[in-house]
Amino acid sequence: MPNDMRDYRDYQKRKLSGSVDGRGIKVAANSSPGTVIHTALSSVAANEWDEIFIGAVNASGSDVKLTVEWGGTNSPDDHIEVTIPAESGFTEVIPGHVLQNGAVARAFAATADVIVLHGYVNRYQHI
């Protein structure tokens, strides 16, 4: 197989770096900079990155706006905004976007401590 092609052996499934033991990450911040969700691998190689999947759960009785700071804190360039429905099951927030070069994904919510983020990372890296 040519070196520029990938297959299933090229990645490792990992927990979000902001997670303890793979558990959900409570969004404590209600302004920027947000709660750390994940820090991407430090490589800048074109064929090495973290593919990140995140879902959110809202434990409150009201809809809550969630802002994900994707690799930076500049608004609106680095912000992804999603309203998470009240007392919802998982709402997809990040469906497999990539980060690298040590970029950090953070989140803050209009109401602190009611949004919990769950997810995982597929780390593509030559081992």
pLDDT (tens, 9 = 90+) of the chain, 127 residues, equals 455 555 555 789 999 999 999 999 999 999 999 999 999 999 988 889 999 999 999 999 999 999 999 999 888 889 999 999 999 889 999 999 999 999 999 999 999 999 999 999 999 987 6
DSSP track, 33-95: S-EEEEE--S---TT-EEEEEEEEEE-SSS-EEEEEEESS--TTTTEEEEEEPTT-S-EEEEE
- pLDDT for 1: 44
CATH architecture group of domain 8-124: Sandwich (2.60)
Task: Identify the three-state secondary structure at position 110.
Answer: coil
* Whole-number pLDDT of residue 59: 95
The domains of the chain are located at: 8-124
pLDDT at position 127 is 62
